[in-house]
Amino acid sequence: MKHSGDRILTTHVGSLPRPADLHAMSVARRQGQKIDDVAFNARVRKAVSDVVRKQVDLGIDIVDDGEMSKPSFITYINERLAGLEPDSSHRNQSPWAGSREVQEFPEFYAPQLANVHTKHTHYLCTGPVKYRGGQALKTDLDNLKAALKDIDVADAFVPSTSVSSIEDWNRNAYYKSDEDYLFGLAEAIGEEYRAIVDAGFVLQVDDPHLVTYYVCHPDTSMEECRKWIALRVHAINHALRGIPKDRVRFHTCYGINFGPRVHDIEVKHIVDILGRLNVGAFSFEAANPRHEHEWTSWRDAKLPDDIIMIPGMITQSNVMVEHPESVAQRLERWIDAFGVERVIAGTDCGFASFAGNDEIHQTIVWAKFAALVKGTQIASKAARPKRLTAQRS
């Protein structure tokens, strides 16, 4: 995994706005309509090429494929796992229904309870979970490799969902216990993890469910939540076994974008557990008003000295384009706390995590990315004297 050096590197979380025609094709596929697979695959390849070029033109250093082939960061995996079938008994409602947030702000959240999540099929585990997504994954990796040809980037990453997200989305009706199910999923998704790294890319494990469990389960105490998270961290490490930790970055975030979010679990309650993950970098929310202050919790945590921090400098939680000076000031805190080499400027979360869920118009997304790059350039210049002083000492 590349470190920042002469300047601070920039990256993002993964999901980027899809072209309208590709989104329409993805929706048709998800709804079981027959479409031209050759045309779809060709459109995905073109979209990946275009979005990689867009990232590079904006000045993003560590890029990905924008998840162009995926209907969402969670549900894509259902096509890659054996042992799952559509769950006809699943209640088609928002996963946030009944959450701590909705209980406190029911009038505000009422319109959101029919959000895009309900348009995706949930699955039931009815047999041993096995990974069968080798060809689909190879296509994604080949598309990204082709898009990177003759393109100058510092590095490239590929997002892959986490065991706790798969577990949350797909109910167990086969394994004797939830723990058995969890580790069955870890065995399966571990194949995707290793294939990504073997292809030469940095693996990003996407796991918002790890920190949204608390808000979605109001009857759960903090201690019970910590135990729940600890077991999932153990399962993630099981999936990652054999992979060098410096080839893995871990992303977590809080799910609800536009909302009060007063019940997001605070990092200070769980950072010690997150520190057990066998990963080389953490990507997390640090730009929005609910989590910007938590840089001190990360600073004071007893994390390994070689961990890279990828704090969000722009957010998907509002449509306001951040001022580059604000981005620079945020970065300066992290540089002072961890040093230039251990900080990469990132984003709070993905944009359009579910294809077509365009809470922020793509023109604003790209304006935010431009602000991220410009602010990082300002912070890099400000940090240069500190770096020279450190080298001399």
pLDDT of residue 389: 52
What are the pLDDT digits (tens) for 305-319? 999 999 999 999 999
pLDDT of residue 122: 85
Residues of the chain with pLDDT under 50: 116, 355-356, 388, 392-393
pLDDT of residue 355: 47
Q: Give yes or no for a contact between 186 and 238, defined as CB atoms under 8 angstroms apart.
A: yes
* Alpha-carbon distances of 321 from 289, 329, 372, rounded to whole Å: 14, 15, 9
Q: Residue 31 corresponds to which tokens in the numbers above?
A: 């709804």
CA distance 365 to 58: 11
Q: What are phi and psi of 237, to 5 degrees?
A: -60, -35
pLDDT of residue 88: 81
pLDDT of residue 387: 58
Cα 101 to the center of its chain, rounded Å: 22
CA distance 252 to 272: 15
pLDDT of residue 165: 93
Cα 355 to the center of its chain, rounded Å: 14
Q: Give yes or no for a contact between 48 and 65, defined as CB atoms under 8 angstroms apart.
A: yes
Domains of the chain: 20-392 (3.20.20.210)
- Nearest Cα to Cα of residue 212 among 349, 22, 47, 24: 349
Q: Which residue, chain included where needed, has tokens 């979005």?
A: 51
CA distance 12 to 138: 22
Question: Alpha-carbon dihedral of residues 211, 11, 2, 190, nearest 10 degrees?
Answer: 40
Q: What is the 3-state secondary structure (H, E, C) of 95-137?
A: CCCCCHHHHHCHHHHHHHHHCHHHHCCCEEEEEEEEECCHHHH
- Nearest Cα to Cα of residue 311 among 279, 277, 275, 335: 335
Pairing of strands 81-86, 123-131: antiparallel
- Nearest Cα to Cα of residue 316 among 17, 10, 50, 104: 17
Compute how many other C-beta atoms are within 10 angstroms of the C-beta atom of residue 175.
18
Q: Which residue, chain included where needed, has tokens 């559509």?
A: 86
> Across the strands, what pairs with 251?
206, 283
